[in-house]
Amino acid sequence: MAPGMTAVSTAVGESILSLGGAMSDAMVVGESVGVTSSLVYSGVTIRDRGEMLSLTDMWRAAGAEPSQQPAKWREHEGTKDFVSHIASVLLIGEDGCFQTLRGTEAGTWAHWQIAFAYAKYLSPEFHAWCNSVVRSHIEGRNVSVYAAPAVAGLTRQDLQQFAQIVGDASGRAAAERCVELMDNRVRDALVPVEERLIALERAQVRRRALSEATRRDHLEDTRALGARCPCCNMADVVTADAARAPFTEFDHFYANSHPGGAHTWLICKPCHTELTTGRVPREQREAEFRAYQNKRRRLPGRQQTLFG
């Protein structure tokens, strides 16, 4: 290769490497950013940082009722049981579920799953808003957070290799090899991002609500089977009088468009969140779902009514 071409190739390689470093730095900064403030309810900004939401902000947004302060809510036995369950599911320990901060970030903070439970305690209207707006905010942000490590690694490591090849090699074959290298690495890096987006897209499919009869059947059958969440077998999802327990959700296992008893179940909130966000692939819980449905079939009087 002519000296001029070598200099040009080296310059191109160095420019690509510089651009890749800048992209990587930007993504790392975006991933580790502290407090954000895009959530506003009744004129009150609700701060979030990583997986944490400000319970203090949520309390103020919901009306600042003195009896509903975060510290008082944490004293309830139901809250303690729920936090213990969340800690065991997420493997973060109960100390990792809450943070008490001072300074510009002052207030009580909690993992977003716990914050959603607090929202339900504050008011039905506020809880509904959190389930819609806050959940979309968190899930949408997590897509970029999950993508950042893969792409950041790509821009720092692979672009360095790309720049070296462009700068040092010669001929058409070397250029084609560079293109092939980058194409393969980009495809590999985007696989987990694509899977995450597919999971979110499925979650947005129009959800058909369960009928009252189907809900009642699940409540009665789950209580007859021990009242525990059939997914994790840890949290109680039905009360002694066959009522739906707090922090539970009716889940459409296969598709939101199938609300029948054979396609749904009542599970605890943490399990529902893991399934609907794709953190736990549904195929990993299909055995539990099928086991629940098989046990329902064997309950007295259910053989004809459930699946007929």
Nearest-angstrom CA–CA distance, 284 and 281:
6
Half-sphere exposure of 78 (CA within 13 A, CB side): 12
> Is residue 252 helix, strand or coil?
strand
Integer CA distances (angstroms), 188 to 141, 151, 178, 199, 279, in order: 21, 10, 16, 18, 19
Q: Which residues pair with 49 in a beta bridge?
A: 52
End-to-end CA distance of the chain: 77
245 phi-psi bin (left φ>0, alpha ψ -120 to 50, beta other): beta
Rounded to a whole number of angstroms, the CA Rg of the chain reads 25
Average pLDDT over all residues of the chain = 75
Q: Band the pLDDT of 258: cuts 50, 70, 90.
A: confident
pLDDT at 288 over 80: yes
pLDDT at 45 over 50: yes
Phi, psi angles (nearest 5°) of residue 19: -65, -40
- What's the pLDDT tens digit per position in 11-20? 444 444 444 4
Q: How many other CB atoms are there within 10 angstroms of residue 290's CB atom?
A: 11
Amino acid at 247: F
Nearest-angstrom CA–CA distance, 9 and 172:
12
- What's the pLDDT tens digit per position in 160-190? 666 666 555 555 566 666 666 666 666 666 6
Half-sphere exposure of 54 (CA within 13 A, CB side): 27
Amino acid at 82: F
pLDDT at 120: 93
Q: Are 243 and 219 in contact (CB under 8 A)?
A: yes
Integer CA distances (angstroms), 71 to 110, 125, 269, in order: 12, 22, 22
For the ranges 23-37, 96-110, 115-129, 283-297, the lowest mean pLDDT is seen at 23-37
> What pTM was estimated for this model as a whole?
0.41
